[in-house]
Amino acid sequence: MRRFEGKTVIVTGAASGIGRASAVRLAAEGAAVLLFDRDEVGLVSAVNEIVASGGRAVPFALDLTVEADVAEALGEAKKAFGALHGVFNVAGGSGRRFGDGPVDACTLDGWRATLDLNLTSMFLMCKYAVPPLLETRGAIVNLASVLGMVGGDEDFATHAYAASKAGAIGLSRAMASYYAPRGLRVNVIAPGLIATAMSQRAQADEHILGRLPQLQPLTGAMGTGEDIAGAAAYLLSDDARFVTGAVLTVDGGWTTR
């Protein structure tokens, strides 16, 4: 399929994991993909992979929690490509290293850092991407998590992370309602456990691996970045022209239990 021929799409967190897999998928479907991330080495590697396969990709190295940098990058993208048709906000991650944990143990610094990483960055991207997307009646897909929907037990007790992902869902649905009359679609993907660098802790934990048949009963295994990329390509494409405000769980059955 070449659903994105002639279209420009931004993917944040595109240097690795879900973001990289999604950038590769969108480029394969014909999009000019703008890769946003602060990992310059990973960006170059991802761009080289896309270009080697005949795709079009441009790297933008920036910190998505810095408003001036986000505004400048969106301005440069608009100037260089003339139009923007889609944004997939993937950037974010675990806040454990900052002090996230159960609410009684989570530090204030950990709370603030985790919300900045996962929610403030998304807010800033949406703030500056919405005006050009309104011009094209484009689409935004925001990455949340099953933990923003159903919480987690002792193995997944990162409450600032859960709050940030619940916030992503709330922000997305509010935007979907407000901008629908102007043709802008906003949807959410809520993954379960996906085999990426972010989930290395879980991948190395025999106890959590042993729980996968119960947590994600469809396969009894972790998902892949490509599983999420396929869902994002659908929601960003015209195939989903009648879909907005949806929260699509790509979780191997986690939220069915």
Measured at the alpha carbon of residue 7, what is the angle toward residues 87 and 167, in degrees to the nearest 5?
10
Alpha carbon distances (Å) from 220 to 153, 157, 212, 223: 18, 21, 5, 9
Query: How many whole angstroms separate alpha carbon 242 and alpha carbon 224?
Result: 27
Alpha carbon distances (Å) from 90 to 36, 106, 219, 229: 10, 24, 24, 10
128 in catalytic set: no
Query: How many whole angstroms separate alpha carbon 238 and alpha carbon 241?
Result: 5
Instruction: Count Cα atoms within 13 angstroms, Cβ side, for 83.
Output: 11
Q: Which residue among the candidates 161, 178, 179, 234 is catalytic per the annotation?
A: 161
List the catalytic residues: 161
